[in-house]
Amino acid sequence: MKIKLYNKIDKLGLDHLAGYEIGEDLNNEDGIMVRSANLFEVEFPKELKAIARAGAGVNNIPIEECSKQGIAVFNTPGANANAVKELTLCALFLSSRGVIKGNAWAKTVEENYSKAIEKGKSQFVGPEIYGKKLGVIGLGAIGANVANAALALGMDVYGYDPYISVKAAWSLNRAVKYVANLNELFKEVDYITVHVPSLDSTRGFINKNTIATMKDNVRILNFARGDLINEKDMIEALNTGKVAAYVTDFGSVELNKCENAIVLPHLGASTPESEENCAVMAAKELREYLETGNITNSVNLPSISEPWTSKHRICIIHKNVPNMLAQFATLIGQKSINIENMYNKAKDEYAYTVIDTNDHVEVSDFEKIDNVVRVRLINR
């Protein structure tokens, strides 16, 4: 197996790909590992079977094109959750107290330092977060961790997530007030932190109209994706004072000019621990798929993780349309092949079928079936 690297990947992750050929200058690679590199202009070789993103966001990967070519795309949800949670907590304090401005001003004082500091510090006064209301939008691995931590700091926490998973729900402290309507959250809270993916339904959802429904002097944190916020509207709200502070990992020249915007250089997952966690998880997902066909944390294909005890495993990526399983079964019956196990799951437009057998199989027979995208045979 050949694994091409498009970014530097932590050694602990690469150690999980021992025995593979790994490098930045490979051709005809079986897999790709990437962090932030843009793959939209990359022409993928026909041998490419999978892309593993060492991180949660996949907006640098052409998901639709990968699906059409039968390339599984993996990410690592939760691997950087603690790192982003800690930076979000830091942002809570930075948004309230005049730490950034106070530090910059203190560095300019050169004469009568102690007296000048005591005289000037009042311009950097800010409220405590204890007892204030925090709205957490998105209760996945990061959002749930932030909500629980904020409770421990004495905040009154409101949570919103119409798609919350059972796992996330179990991890959420029962003291979090779950709200079913975003407008209710906007009207109640003093602080808002955003932890949702960038989708057609979420891009720009913090805008002039939604900001108007919020409390005056609200403080907003964004460590998810920059395009969730309408930047023009945010700048206007900062300039008028409607939004008291905006702390984000996704800045611009225009946003940097705003006095009450605190812009960080995309530091959310920039910890050694996070980079290790993401690299290890991505490598394990990639190796498992290449060697067994099992899928965990794919963004474009369904999850299947089943034991494999036969000699051969047929892995079929196909369109999620009627009669596909019947066609597979008919073909297998015509070839007098005995099925040891058969698994099938679907995700949106695509489905994935795994067939285990001890009999010889011709991949080309399955490739001739309409709506089959890709067929792969793995042998023990």
Contact 345, 351 (CB under 8 A): yes
Contact 295, 289 (CB under 8 A): yes
CA distance 366 to 331: 8
The single residue of 16, 203, 266, 376 carrying the catalytic annotation is: 266
- Is 225 noted as a catalytic residue in this protein? yes
The single residue of 225, 287, 312, 318 carrying the catalytic annotation is: 225
The single residue of 47, 65, 254, 291 carrying the catalytic annotation is: 254
Best CA proximity match to 59, nearest among 190, 227, 187: 227
DSSP state of 229: B
With H, G, I as helix, E, B as strand and everything else as coil, classify residue 124.
Answer: helix
Tokens of residue 41, six digits? 């202009």
CA distance 191 to 243: 10
Other Cβ atoms less than 10 A from the Cβ of 361: the count is 20
For residue 239, the number of C-alpha atoms closer than 13 Å in the C-beta half-sphere is 12
Backbone angles phi, psi at 379, to 5 degrees: -115, 145
- Please, which residues have CB within 8 angstroms of residue 379's CB and are 6 or more apart in sequence? 311, 312, 313
Identify the residue whose tokens are 């979420």: 202
For 38, 225, 273, the CA distances from 279, given in Å and listed in that order, are 18, 21, 10
- Please, which residues have CB within 8 angstroms of residue 201's CB and are 6 or more apart in sequence? none
CA distance 350 to 374: 11
Angle at 139 between CA 344 and CA 275, to 5 degrees: 80
Among the residues of the chain, which ranges form H helices?
11-14, 63-69, 81-96, 99-106, 113-120, 141-152, 166-171, 182-188, 208-212, 231-240, 253-256, 272-292, 324-334, 363-367
- Is 254 noted as a catalytic residue in this protein? yes
- Is 312 noted as a catalytic residue in this protein? no
CA distance 157 to 219: 14
Provide the annotated active-site residues.
225, 254, 266
